[in-house]
Amino acid sequence: MNENERLFLDALNQYGGPFKKGVINALKKFPDIHILAEEYPAGLGDERTAIDIVASIRNGQCICYFTMECKRALASYKKWVFFKETASQSFKLGRCMVNNMDMAVSAHWQGLPGIDFCSDGCEITAGKPNPNHHDSHKTMYEAKNAKVFKTAPDTIHKAAIQATIGYLSFLQERSPKLFLGKEIPHKQIIVLPLIVTTADIMVSSEDGTGVDMSTGLCELKPPDSKPWVGFRFPCHPVTTDTGADQRVGMAKTSYLSACYGQDDSTGDIYKETIYVVRADQLAQFFKSEALDTILKQFTKLMPEPRSNPPDDK
């Protein structure tokens, strides 16, 4: 292989397509998971996107769909650091449709083992040291070889927007309103959005108690590496059309209630929990107690299957 061919293949490998294929291949190893589609077209309001992967599993009497966004970390050093939710103790887990009614499902944090729910996050990358920078507190060797760390909150934010739009679009395609009285293919469904990434996932335990209010800084403890987190992402409607985003139906009522202090849950109406999973932990996630507990919260709402009528004979 000559140098041009190697550079060509290196450039192609930077594209996310091979990584997405790797995620699909990993999912195929689970006999209970069905790959529904890749690059599934989706849209919400004026926003258009495609869902990288849609997979499903049977869960009792219902079907659970996973809409997945695949994000490969291109840099050799890249960490996604999240901060635990401290303002709320009850978290939205996802959305479902039960008996032709779509709804969100929440649970208290004490009943959700094995997963941290986070309200904020940023990406940390390390670049090459600046040869012209010299810190008087370091030797010249240390200064020249020190990594330069940068924060980039937009990376996670943009991935979460794309994941949320795809997830809500997929759910609304299965809304009873779109079938106009026809038989709905699956009357009981769960939809959960995932971001699968090669970045290291970390969670900070900082709760604000050590912050110096004159500088806004504090003595941070090193964050802990995690295989996955629940990212409570604020995704406001991108439209006022209730047909494009059915969450808009409660907007005016909720805003007025918030102004008069009558609705403590207003802040959660447009927050969607996205499950951010490290790619090499994807298999463990699908077998985890965390996912099992989340799905059980949904199945509590599902009606019991009808038993056969007694035999009169």
Residue range 215-259, pLDDT digits in tens: 988 888 889 999 999 999 988 766 666 767 767 655 455 444 445
Q: Give me the pLDDT at residue 131, please.
A: 56
Can you tell me the mean pLDDT for 72-96?
85
In three state form, how does the secondary structure of the chain look? CCHHHHHHHHHHHHCCHHHHHHHHHHHCCCCCCEEEEEEEEEEECCEEEEEEEEEEEEECCEEEEEEEEEECCCCCCEEEEEEECCCCCEEEEEEEEECCEEEEEEEEHHHCCCCEEEEEEEEEEEECCCCCCCCCCCCHHHHHHCCEEEEEHHHHHHHHHHHHHHHHHHHHHCCHHHCCCCCCCCCCEEEEEEEEECCEEEEECCCCCCCECCCCECCCCCCEEECEEEEEEECCCCCCCCCCCHHHHHHHHHHHHHHCCCCCCHHHCCEEEEEEEEHHHHHHHHCCHHHHHHHHHHHCCCCCCCCCCCCCC
pLDDT digits (tens, 9 = 90+) for 127-164: 666 555 555 444 444 445 556 778 877 889 999 999 99
Once rounded to an integer, what is the mean pLDDT over residues 98-109?
78
Residue 3 lies in a domain: no
Per-residue pLDDT band for 312 (boundaries 50, 70, 90) equals: very low
Q: Is residue 144 in a domain?
A: yes
Six-digit token pair at 275?
């499950």
Residue 2 lies in a domain: no
pLDDT at 35 over 90: yes
Q: pLDDT grade, residue 23 (50/70/90)? A: very high
Interatomic CA distance for residues 122 and 160, integer angstroms = 12
Supply 253's token pair. Answer: 């009522």
Structural domain includes residue 178 = yes
pLDDT of residue 313: 41
Instruction: Examine residue 37 and state whether it is found in any structural domain, yes or no.
Output: yes
Show the domain range for 75.
16-205+221-258+268-299
Return the higher-pLDDT residue of 5 and 60.
5
Q: How confident is the model at residue 210 (pLDDT cuts 50, 70, 90)?
A: confident
Say which range, 78-82, 170-174, 199-203, has the weakest mean pLDDT.
Answer: 170-174
For residue 273, being part of any structural domain is answered with yes
Higher pLDDT, 310 or 60: 60
Cα Rg of the chain, angstroms? 23
The per-residue pLDDT of the chain, averaged, comes to: 80
Q: How confident is the model at residue 274 (pLDDT cuts 50, 70, 90)?
A: very high
> Do the domain assignments include residue 10?
no
How confident is the model at residue 194, as a pLDDT? 97
Rounded-to-integer distance, Cα 223 and Cα 118, Å: 13
Q: What is the pLDDT, as a whole number, of residue 76? A: 67
Percent of the chain with pLDDT over 70: 75
- pLDDT score at 17: 81
182 has pLDDT over 90: no
Question: What's the pLDDT score for residue 92?
Answer: 86
Is residue 42 one of the residues assigned to a domain?
A: yes
Compute the average pLDDT of residues 262-281.
79
Residue 234's pLDDT is 86
Q: What domain count does the chain have?
A: 1
Query: Model confidence over 279-304: pLDDT tens digits?
Result: 999 999 999 999 999 999 888 877 66
pLDDT class for 271, splitting at 50, 70, 90?
A: confident
Looking at residue 310, what is its pLDDT? 44
